[in-house]
Chains A and B, each alone.
Chain A
């Protein structure tokens, strides 16, 4: 029994080390035999336009696109998985890869034109700035005031527990790297976070791994409210499709803005193409108008003027909450707040 357990454990470990937990995968064949292998946290539907744009310019290059979770991506690169480009929205993990020497430096006119805060040591390059938002179901909230700050949200949740019982969704920070990043950064920036967490904890919150499901549940009325959702873009599209069923809210007191970053792993072989891809993404990141692209540029001039919060800084401080001791301490506190059953 014991031996069996051990064997199972070992083989599991081996598959974990060797194989990736792939969420999605697609090959875009090119006319030549060069192959650019991208590992990314962005869904295919979000990232495909970029890949197509890249291939339109360089039809010879085939693209192998793999979608994984941010934690999986981080683990894979650390373990030496062979990819030419790693694109992730988990800034902290990306940063740690760069800091610990898993990235190659790359320099071009395009990367030079990126603002200082959007790159680090010519190793990681940001090309989108995406805010964390609250997604509301208009139907479930009918007759209630729309909260603008966390304090208002807390008050709303406290005053109408019956409406929100089991109908509040947020990331399970234990599973979601992005959720963890949002939570730690928010906890650091505003004391309202813990109070809000406690209030949510009393309402039997639904915990998710990914924002997509959360949005789906709000749109289908299973949730009244999803807190800390990324992908305003996808969300906005959904809002447009849902005839006013969905509402998107940016908290006025504080809002996290994360940078989606790209990094060339040390294992990369198609470095030239990876660099060209970074150049394209950086150039797009610097565009002025959002246009029809699925992801927002680095500077959103149109919206968010009320929330003058800059993106989370790319720097060693990102590694603070990745420290196992700190992580454990944070998760303990989080569990205390959210799981009060």
Chain B
């Protein structure tokens, strides 16, 4: 399966992207508005100042006269600490003020109208407001332009402050929005996760249709999922049926052959014939054992991949396994001595049972009659341990670990039916559970000692 990125992450990113866009947008809008507002305030004051100066313009004895009203400048000082410049020009002659103020002489504003411009003066940006009035001097009207200017540091400061505030708010908004997006994404994906969990919580063989309330968007998914499970269930059932049928068809005649051979064996006196019959029975046993173990091995491999995890009491499991092998042991007058204490582990009871069964089966199989097999279950250093110790011949001289290889049988197996898969299966099961199989031959006495070690729950 290839994951093409998480929907949740994509959704979060998308929402966060939208939030980022909105943040930037709102920030730039607020900044723009702040500039405008600050500029407009300044423009208004400048215009009022220039106008109030222009209103004092008059002609006296053939000269243009004016007075700078106190208020014209005090109002400029009232709202900000900007530097103030001004000049008054009659035509192109300076009446008063800063001579070098860069007043645009190109298009003097229409009389009575205030015009604004931005320029550079004495190292600072300035905003200028100009008003022109016609003053009648001597022969004709002279256009007199009053210009009042202010540096723009304050505008920039105010706008900057507002912009910074807006930026902080935008970032805060963004952070909140991202958190909310993550939350929203998670919330909207929750049904999906719940379905996924419901599916994965199930045992590997549970293929019942999912019956849970799901949002409309997920209904098609649910339907196809259920249909898939149904089909899967059907095909599994069909193949199970097939296997069962096939096994039945093969094994029943084998059972017949074996049963009849056994009956004949008892009535025949001739030792050669007896030997031949024994070989027949043996062959039947070998083949059926192999088929069974192979199938078990395959099943274990399958179930280990989809491991069921449920609480299991190892002592209880041991008791049941021992009980099911009891009759076989009894046939050889072998006593299975139980020495257990409750040890909880987590895992697939069917697999664990099979693992222990294979180990116990070996002990019974390879031990001589009238011996004792000790089955101990203990919790030990954070591990659960089921140990099967017998009084048989032991595991031989070779490396014990090799016995867990597939189809590997020991040298001591003459006359004992087996496929060489028992310990392989047991080890696979334990590895799947995060445990291990320990094999040793008891050095003091005789016999093999096989331990199933699991992490305790």
Contacts and interface: CB of A to CB of B under 8 A. Distances in A.
Q: Tell me, yes or no, whether A and B come into direct contact in the complex with CB atoms closer than 8 A.
A: yes
Contacts of A101: 83, 122-124
Contacts of B78: 315
Given A323-B68, A323-B96, A325-B66, A317 B77 contact: yes
Contacts of B70: 188, 317, 320
Contact of B77 (A188, A313, A324, A326): A313
A249 B75 CA distance: 33
B95 interface: yes
A252 B74 CA distance: 25
Contacts of B95: 325
Nearest to A330: B67
B122 A325 contact: no
Contacts of B76: 315-317
Contacts of B83: 98-101, 121, 316
A86 B73 CA distance: 25
Interface string B71-105: 11110111001011100000000011110000000
Given A100-B122, A101-B122, A315 B77 contact: yes
Q: At the interface, is chain A mostly helix, strand, loop or mixed?
A: helix
Interface string A114-149: 000000110000000000000000000000000000
A271 interface: no
Interface in A42-83: none
Contacts of A319: 73, 84
Contact of B96 (A313, A315, A316, A324): A324
Interface in B290-336: none
A329 B74 CA distance: 19
Contacts of A329: 67
A38 B191 CA distance: 80
Contacts of B123: 101
Contacts of B84: 99, 316, 319
A120 B66 contact: no
Contact of B67 (A315, A316, A326): A326
With most chain A CB atoms within 10 A of its CB, the pick from B68, B69, B95 is: B68
Interface centre among A120, A324, A325, A326 (most CB of B within 10 A): A325
Contact of A317 (B66, B67, B73): B73
Interface string B35-75: 00000000000000000000000000000011111111110
Nearest to A313: B77
A320 B72 CA distance: 8
Contacts of A313: 74, 77
A317 B65 CA distance: 20
B77 A320 contact: no
A50 B172 CA distance: 51
Contacts of A320: 68-70, 72-74
Given A323-B96, A326-B68, A315 B73 contact: yes
A69 B35 CA distance: 44
Contacts of B74: 313, 315-317, 320
Given A101-B122, A320-B68, A325 B96 contact: yes
Most chain B beta-carbon contacts within 10 A, residue among A188, A315, A324: A315
Most buried by B among A101, A313, A316: A316
Given A99-B83, A325-B68, A325-B95, A316 B73 contact: yes
A315 B77 CA distance: 5
B58 to A, nearest CB: 12
Interface residues of B, number: 24
A82 to B, nearest CB: 20
A177 B109 CA distance: 37
B452 to A, nearest CB: 78
B77 A316 contact: yes
A120 B77 CA distance: 10
Contacts of A316: 73-74, 76-77, 83-84
A278 B73 CA distance: 28
Nearest to B154: A121
Nearest to A323: B68
A325 B90 CA distance: 14
A149 B73 CA distance: 29
A318 B74 CA distance: 8
Contact of A121 (B66, B72, B81, B85): B81
Nearest to A315: B77
Nearest to A101: B122
A320 B65 CA distance: 15
A340 B252 CA distance: 150
Interface string B20-36: 00000000000000000
A120 B81 contact: yes
Nearest to A314: B77
Contacts of B66: 325
Nearest to B148: A316
Contacts of B124: 101
- Most chain-A Cβ atoms within 10 A of its Cβ — which of B72, B81, B95? B81
B168 to A, nearest CB: 23
A99 B76 CA distance: 13
A222 to B, nearest CB: 36
A119 B287 CA distance: 108
B376 to A, nearest CB: 81
A190 to B, nearest CB: 14
Nearest to B64: A325
Nearest to B84: A316
Interface in B214-265: none
A171 B123 CA distance: 38
A144 B309 CA distance: 115
Interface string A305-341: 0000000010111111001111001000000000000
A317 B53 CA distance: 13
A44 B75 CA distance: 38
Contacts of A98: 83
A188 B74 CA distance: 12
Counting chain B CB atoms within 10 Å of each CB, which of A120, A317, A319 scores highest?
A317
Contacts of A318: 73
A315 B66 CA distance: 21
A18 to B, nearest CB: 23
A274 B37 CA distance: 38
A318 B68 CA distance: 11
Interface string A94-111: 000011110000000000
A293 to B, nearest CB: 29
Contacts of B98: 100
A229 B124 CA distance: 39
A317 B97 CA distance: 14
A188 B73 CA distance: 14
The 4 A-B residue pairs with the shortest CB-CB distance in the complex, in nearest-first order: A315-B77, A317-B74, A316-B84, A316-B73
12 contacts: A99-B84, A101-B83, A315-B74, A315-B76, A315-B78, A316-B73, A319-B73, A319-B84, A325-B68, A325-B95, A326-B67, A326-B68
Given A121-B81, A315-B74, A325-B96, 16 more contacts: A98-B83, A100-B83, A188-B70, A315-B77, A316-B73, A317-B71, A317-B77, A318-B73, A320-B69, A320-B74, A323-B68, A325-B65, A325-B67, A325-B68, A326-B67, A329-B67
Interface of A: 98-101, 120-121, 188, 313, 315-320, 323-326, 329
